[in-house]
């Protein structure tokens, strides 16, 4: 059995009409806006698991859940030229950090421009389950109000285990309880990622964590030290964010060394500064945080644009040899990537810089022009900010497969991601797995469409989608839940540039 986004949309429209409801009435029932219902009914809106559940409940139609019980999949007609302009949306990773940090605030937080994606849904379910009130205002603004007392004992374990962001509750919750526990974190399958750096940093601020029986058991000890100097043993993003949130409401001064200065960390700092937390050194490897005992502020914050989504969209233009303009690219976090592309012969035109809605992040509009690419002279590898972003590295596997010559991709951070990227060879790429961290790529590639299973990792899965856009023929990309975790309405947005991507549930109709 197969159901498409269009057939689901018709089913929803008919059910709404039979009840005599307007689109606005259904939007009110769903906690969204009329324009979102209009897109859903026209098959132009990504349907998350939580939205499917809300639709089924509002319309009293369990059939909606029944026909979407299989995996969600994409059918992609490749080989089409793209054209036009597309905006970069806000950062998933920044949103996750600030959602967790909102627990530090006893006032009201409104996050502007937050993405409606599966990852946000999962952490939202977690926050709601411990007593937080979340109210969507329109399509992409979220009001957050926490109760006087949080209840981590009632946490939604299923949702928690589906996101690695659960780790970032350690920092906020240590200010509320002497003891608490959290379920083990989940997320992408990228190999073993130790949580030891988190524990090492938080222990210096009085938090002891033992991992047993599927849970992190946290105990809060002495926090009376007025001046703390902590050197992180790993310059990781979530490690830095956890330490910042722990320091934000720990009275005294905390100095974090070897801190990440990456985009999501900067966004978190900007948000906490709005709350009255003094943070010096934002964007550098040394942060000085003056903690406060209590925060009660009503604030609004605009999340900044996502450099990883920007690179995804630029790659779509590059590999399809199309001219497209990607607007609102956060240039500070893409400069090394652009330097590598320039070395490979990619022509790009950049606008003058302007500011994001948060007043901080520097943006540019970037036009990619069809270019004859050559393999880079050296291996491509990630580094902590301001180096090439680890989450942008996979896109260079697709780009290098398009280029003439021999390239080496060295992913020293993750154990499994190079293995997932090897799946590009099923589209015709000449890729050799040198070891668990290195790929040898010989291009150019004559991409060809096929049926393929999506890997359980976000960026490699998107790389398969991008290769499918360039491939001759039709690709069926099965089980794309992981893409919906990190991207909002990506197929529909690419279709506006001239792609042809259809969403369906279950097996392909021709099967």
What DSSP letter does each residue of 257-317 carry, written as one string? ES----HHHHHHHHHHHHTT-EEE-TTSSEEEEEE-S-----EEEEPPB-HHHHHHHHHHH
What gap in Å lies between CA 37 and CA 433, rounded to an integer?
45
Sheet holding 227-231, edge to edge: 227-231, 252-257, 286-291, 278-280
Q: Which fold has domain 2-69?
A: 434 Repressor (Amino-terminal Domain) (1.10.260)
At the second CATH level, the architecture of 77-89+306-506 is Alpha-beta prism (3.65)
Q: Are strands 141-145 and 108-112 parallel, antiparallel or unpaired?
A: antiparallel
* 336 class by beta-carbon count within 10 Å (0-12 exposed, 13-18 middle, 19+ buried): middle
Q: What angle do CA 276, 145, 294 make, to 5 degrees?
A: 35
User: What integer pLDDT is reported at residue 388 of this predicted model?
Assistant: 96
User: What integer pLDDT is reported at residue 230 of this predicted model?
Assistant: 93
Place of tokens 């859903």: 40
Place of tokens 């302007």: 354
CB burial string 212-249: b at 16+ within 10 A, e below: eeebbebebeebeeeebebebebbbbbbbbbbbbbbbb
**Equal CATH topology for 77-89+306-506 and 92-302:** yes
- Closest alpha carbon to 191 in 463, 425, 411: 411
User: What integer pLDDT is reported at residue 199 of this predicted model?
Assistant: 81
Q: State the virtual CA torsion across 139, 142, 143, 146 in degrees, nearest 10.
A: 140
| DSSP secondary structure, 179-217, as one string | EEEEEPP-----S----HHHHHHHHTTTEEEEEETTEEE
Q: Is residue 410 a contact partner of residue 437, using CB atoms and an 8 Å limit?
A: yes
Query: Domain limits of the chain?
Result: 2-69, 77-89+306-506, 92-302
What gap in Å lies between CA 116 and CA 140, rounded to an integer?
7
Q: Which helix (H) or strand (E) holds 432?
A: strand 430-435
Full pLDDT tens readout for the chain, 511 residues: 578 888 888 889 988 988 889 999 898 888 788 888 888 888 877 787 778 888 888 888 887 777 777 788 999 999 999 999 999 999 999 999 999 999 999 999 999 999 888 888 889 999 999 999 999 988 889 999 999 999 999 999 888 887 878 889 999 999 999 999 988 875 444 344 457 888 888 888 888 888 777 888 889 887 777 788 999 998 989 999 999 999 999 989 999 999 999 999 999 999 999 999 999 999 999 999 999 999 999 999 999 999 999 999 999 999 999 999 999 999 999 999 999 999 999 999 999 999 999 999 999 999 999 999 999 999 999 999 999 999 999 999 999 999 999 999 999 988 888 999 999 999 999 999 999 899 999 999 999 999 999 999 999 999 999 999 999 999 999 999 899 888 988 999 999 999 999 999 888 765 4
User: What integer pLDDT is reported at residue 478 of this predicted model?
Assistant: 95
Q: Give CA 154 to chain center in angstroms.
A: 26
Q: Which fold has domain 92-302?
A: UDP-n-acetylglucosamine1-carboxyvinyl-transferase; Chain (3.65.10)
Secondary structure class of 446 (helix, strand, coil): coil
Look at the pTM and tell me if it is higher than 0.95.
Answer: no
What gap in Å lies between CA 248 and CA 295, rounded to an integer?
9
Residue 167: how many CB atoms within 10 A of its CB? 23
**List of residues 6+ apart from 359 with CB closer than 8 A:** none
User: What integer pLDDT is reported at residue 358 of this predicted model?
Assistant: 96
What gap in Å lies between CA 29 and CA 56, rounded to an integer?
11
């Amino acid at each position: 059995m197969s159901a498409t986004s269009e057939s689901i949309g018709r089913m929803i429209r008919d059910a709404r009409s039979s009840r005599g409801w307007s689109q606005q009435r259904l939007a009110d029932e769903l906690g969204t806006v009329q324009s979102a219902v209009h897109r859903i009914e026209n098959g132009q809106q990504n349907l998350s698991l939580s939205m499917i559940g809300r639709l089924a409940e509002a319309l009293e139609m369990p059939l909606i859940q029944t026909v979407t019980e299989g995996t969600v999949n994409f059918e992609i007609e490749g080989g089409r030229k793209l054209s036009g302009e597309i905006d970069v949306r806000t950062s998933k990773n920044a949103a996750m950090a600030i959602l967790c940090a909102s627990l530090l605030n006893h006032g009201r937080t409104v996050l502007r421009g937050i993405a409606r994606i599966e990852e946000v849904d999962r952490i939202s379910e977690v926050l709601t389950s411990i007593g937080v009130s979340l109210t969507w205002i329109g399509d992409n603004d979220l009001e957050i109000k926490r109760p006087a007392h949080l209840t981590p004992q009632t946490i939604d374990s299923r949702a928690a285990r589906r996101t690695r962001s659960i780790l970032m509750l350690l920092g906020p919750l240590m200010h509320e309880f002497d003891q608490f526990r959290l379920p083990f974190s989940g997320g992408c399958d990228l190999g073993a990622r130790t949580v030891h750096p988190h524990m090492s940093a938080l222990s210096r601020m009085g938090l002891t964590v033992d991992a047993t029986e599927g849970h992190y058991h946290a105990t809060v000890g002495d926090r009376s030290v007025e001046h703390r100097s902590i050197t992180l043993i790993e310059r990781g993003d979530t490690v830095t964010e956890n330490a910042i949130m722990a320091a934000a409401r720990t009275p005294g001064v905390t100095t974090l060394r070897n801190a990440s200065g990456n985009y999501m960390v900067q966004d978190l700092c900007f948000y906490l500064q709005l709350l009255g937390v003094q943070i010096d050194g934002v964007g550098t490897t040394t942060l000085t945080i003056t903690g406060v005992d209590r925060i009660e502020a009503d604030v609004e914050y605009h999340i900044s644009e996502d450099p990883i989504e920007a690179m995804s969209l630029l790659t779509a233009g590059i590999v399809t040899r199309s001219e497209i303009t990607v607007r609102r690219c956060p240039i500070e976090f893409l400069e090394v990537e652009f330097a590598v592309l320039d070395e490979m012969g990619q022509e790009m035109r950049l606008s003058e810089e302007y500011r994001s809605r948060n007043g901080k992040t520097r943006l540019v509009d970037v036009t990619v022009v069809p270019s004859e690419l050559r393999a880079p002279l050296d291996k491509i590898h990630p580094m902590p900010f301001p180096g090439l972003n680890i989450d942008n590295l996979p896109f260079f596997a697709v780009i290098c497969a398009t280029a003439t010559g021999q390239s080496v991709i060295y992913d020293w951070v993750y154990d499994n991601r190079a293995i997932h990227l090897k799946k590009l060879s099923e589209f015709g790429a000449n890729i050799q797995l040198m070891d668990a961290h290195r790929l040898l790529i010989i291009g150019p590639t004559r991409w060809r469409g096929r049926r393929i299973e999506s890997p359980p990792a976000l960026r490699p899965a998107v790389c398969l989608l991008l290769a499918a856009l360039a491939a001759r023929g039709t690709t069926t990309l099965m089980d794309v839940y992981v893409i919906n975790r990190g991207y909002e309405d990506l197929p529909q947005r690419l279709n506006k540039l001239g792609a042809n991507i259809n969403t369906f549930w279950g097996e392909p109709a021709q099967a």
